Amino acid sequence: MAFTNEQLERYSRHIILKEIGPKGQKKLMQARVLIIGAGGLGAPAALYLAAAGVGTIGIADADVVDLSNLQRQVIHSTADIGRPKVESARDSMLAINPEIDVHTYYEYITSENISGIIRDYDFILDGTDNFPAKFLINDACVLEEKPFSHAGIIRFEGQLMTYVPGEGPCYRCVFKEPPPKDLVPTCREAGVIGAVAGVIGCLQAMEAVKYITGAGDLLTGRLLTYDALKMQFRTIRLPRDSHCAVCSGERTIHAPFDYELPSCDLKNR
Amino acid sequence: MKIIVAGAEKEYADGLSVEDLIEAEKVETPQYVTVTVNDSFLPNTERTSRILQDGDVVEFLYFMGGGAADR
Amino acid sequence: MAEYRITDTVDITDVVCPVTFVKAKVALEELEEGEILSVHMNDGEPVQNVPRSIKEEGHRVLKLIHNEDGTFDLIVQKA
């Protein structure tokens, strides 16, 4: 596959980089990344991955664009209110880079469909806002041996970690079970600064680019935390849990499953 | 004794348990926080019995959602 | 007889900075170490910048040929 002059120009800032170069750009153009959640985290991640020329981007979200989303979900516009988020996200990505393929999944990701969907992708970004989904994505990625980026945001803070099969801990090594509903604050109740979503979502995109191109060190075995008020980034070393229910030799979870959906989330949809 | 809590050096009296530290540091929803001591997970059941030593490094890992309501 | 054997040629007269260098860099990437690339370029910005950028990447510039039509051919050995 040879670059066209247009591609050389579009991706020139990547190709000039020693760590990316022509080979890395070709890897990006052949890569398949799935973004689950077209919200605060998925929005910046999707824009940067599309701009980077990731050849195939899948985006999953069952929601429609709401006015309250626009403070941080920069892939959607005011004119998109009421449209499925995946459609609005697809249009924005293709407007930036018509060369890529975008696959939309306008549906909830559940234990029924997750394995079939992630199987088609090289790297998965968890941009969801709820713990049942985060555990589901973790379990499915571990079981399907797919690398993924976990991220969370609240108020002025964010966190990030990367799971690579066979390396480092998974999300369930760190957090055993989802917390009961309403005992841990969510963005809806506690608020979040839009730019924090941007920072953390971009870091997720960065991890995907690094995984695909092989550049640098991934955030495996480490949790990165960001405190915007103190303007501090920290990385905390994470051990593996040798008794982990999904990624250890003592595995008790052999198939993805759904935790009960909190009723208030359903009402708010 | 000096211990490192969430990256910052803190002075505490000897004999401090992890449970005492959680209280002193006003950790939010402590039952849903994962604790590591010297890069190892500390089971919740050992919070009262684990007495911290000079130089120990303690981290609190918090649940964070955020992103999009996908389901 | 030439003192070198050109393995491949690339024409960067159809692009502008910084794609000029990028196109040459991509062409060099395709070669094996020690092989020789001839880069066909315009006068002005390309001839000022591309040889320097290629040297900075560690490659060896063997020759810069000034053609009669005002273009240049830069002969580079891949490092």
Residue B23's SS3 state is helix
* A204-218: burial string, b at 16+ Cβ within 10 Å, e else: bbbbbbbbbbebeeb
From CA B7, how far away is CA B14, in angstroms rounded? 20
Q: Is the separation of the CB atoms in A62 and A106 below 8 Å?
A: yes
Whole-prediction pTM: 0.92
What is the Cα–Cα distance from A52 to A169, expressed in whole angstroms? 28
CA of C22 vs chain A CAs: smallest distance (Å): 6
The alpha carbon of residue A214 is apart from the nearest alpha carbon of chain B, in Å, by: 26
Whether residues C29 and A16 touch (CB distance < 8 A) is answered with no
Strands (E), A47-173: 56-60, 101-105, 123-126, 148-154, 157-163
pLDDT score recorded for residue C1: 47
- Cα dihedral B18, B23, B29, B32, rounded to 10, equals 10
Give A148's strand partners.
A124, A163
Local structure of A141: helix, strand or coil: helix
Q: Domains in chain C, ordered, with CATH?
A: 8-77 (3.30.110.40)
B68 occurs within a structural domain: no
Q: Which domain holds residue B29?
A: 2-62
State the Cα–Cα distance between residues C49 and C71, nearest whole angstrom: 14
What's B52's domain CATH number?
A: 3.10.20.30
Q: Give Cβ neighbours of residue C49 (< 8 Å, ≥ 6 apart).
A: C17, C20, C21
Residue A47 vs residues A100, A137, A259, C12: alpha-carbon distances, Å: 12, 21, 30, 30
Q: What is the ipTM of this complex?
A: 0.89
Q: Are A98 and A132 in contact (CB under 8 A)?
A: no
With an 8 Å Cβ cutoff, is A147 touching chain B? no
The whole-angstrom separation of Cα B30 and Cα B60 is 9
Specify the pLDDT at position A189: 72
Find, in chain B, the residue whose alpha carbon is nearest to that of A188. Answer: B66
C21 chain-A contacts, CB cut-off 8 A: 16
Q: Which residue in A27, A39, A20, A65 sits closest to A200, CA to CA?
A: A39
Alpha carbon distance C74, A259 (integer Å): 64
Task: Tell me if B18 is assigned to some domain.
Answer: yes
Query: Which residues of chain A fall below pLDDT 70?
Result: 261-269
Cis before residue A185, ω within 30 degrees of 0? no
Q: Tokens at residue A73, please?
A: 């979900």
Contact (CB, 8 A) for A8 and A32: no
Q: DSSP 3-state assignment of A184?
A: coil
Q: Which chains touch A (3 or more CB pairs under 8 A)?
A: B, C
> Is B44 part of any domain?
yes
Given this model, what pLDDT does residue B71 score?
41
Side by side, the strands of the sheet bearing C60-66 are C8-11, C36-41, C72-77, C60-66
Q: Is the dihedral of CA A66, A67, A68, A70 positive or negative?
A: positive
Chosen for mutation from A126, A237, A257, A265 (greatest number of chain B CBs closer than 10 Å) is A237
Tell me whether A34 touches chain B (CB under 8 Å).
Answer: no
Question: Does the CB of B36 have a partner CB in chain A at under 8 Å?
Answer: yes
- Scanning the structure block, which residue is given the tokens 């690398």? A147
pLDDT level of residue C19 (50, 70, 90 thresholds): very high
Q: Which residues contact B65 (CB under 8 A, 6 or more apart)?
A: A128, A129, A130, A131, A134, A152, A153, A154, A184, A186, A187
Total number of domains in chain B: 1
d(CA B46, CA A209): 40
pLDDT at A264: 45
Active site residues of C: 17
Let me know if residue B69 belongs to a domain. no
**Which site among C8, C16, C17, C19 would you substitute to test the A interface, given the most A Cβ atoms closer than 10 Å to its Cβ?**
C19
